[in-house]
């Protein structure tokens, strides 16, 4: 199957919101945010007055969205440089193991290399996600064991 990888634009908001639900279900979530809330958040995050993220989309031959890579640039990274931080890489199960994820990673690396002052691409995966870890290893990426991730809900005081 032939796919196209391209940046998201405003005409993709509804489809991205639908794909976000698919991603949530993939990770086992049973409490899915109402569609209109999710659509509004996608619109604000990607196309608001201060966009929070960027997205590369994977589109199949029928123009259905079948994957995405959501990322942001973070500063500082090494010294005063910045990094491309990959938050989510997702490819629909019908297209997995066909090189689509590898193409997304290649596109992300090219974006980082083309951006002046960007020193690296960084991402995380869960320790208990052996398929993701095997995927990144197959691309030649080594696991970095130097960080511990912390998380707290925004409403927690």
Task: Say what the alpha-carbon torsion angle 83, 88, 92, 97 is, to the nearest 10 degrees.
Answer: 50
CA–CA separation, 133 and 118 (whole Å):
24
| Strand ranges, E, within the chain | 4-7, 54-59, 65-74, 82-91, 118-123
Q: Are 39 and 21 in contact (CB under 8 A)?
A: no
Q: What is the pLDDT of residues 109-157, one digit of tens each?
A: 999 999 999 999 999 998 888 999 999 999 999 998 888 888 888 876 5
Q: What is the pLDDT of residues 16-45, one digit of tens each?
A: 999 999 999 998 898 999 999 999 999 999
Global confidence as pTM: 0.90
């Amino acid at each position: 199957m032939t796919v196209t990888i391209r940046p998201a634009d405003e005409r993709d908001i509804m489809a991205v919101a639908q794909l976000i639900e698919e991603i949530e279900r993939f990770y086992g979530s049973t409490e899915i945010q109402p569609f209109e809330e999710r659509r509004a958040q996608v619109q604000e995050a990607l196309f608001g007055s201060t966009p929070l993220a960027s997205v590369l989309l994977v589109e199949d031959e029928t123009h259905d969205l079948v994957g995405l890579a959501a990322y942001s640039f973070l500063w500082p990274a090494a010294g005063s440089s910045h990094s491309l931080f990959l938050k989510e890489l997702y490819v629909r199960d019908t297209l997995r193991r066909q090189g689509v994820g590898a193409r997304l990673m290649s596109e992300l690396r090219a974006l980082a290399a083309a951006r002046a002052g960007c020193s690296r691409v960084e991402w995380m995966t869960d320790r208990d996600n052996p398929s993701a870890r095997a995927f990144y290893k197959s691309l030649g990426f080594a696991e970095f064991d130097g960080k511990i991730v912390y998380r707290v809900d925004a409403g927690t005081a």
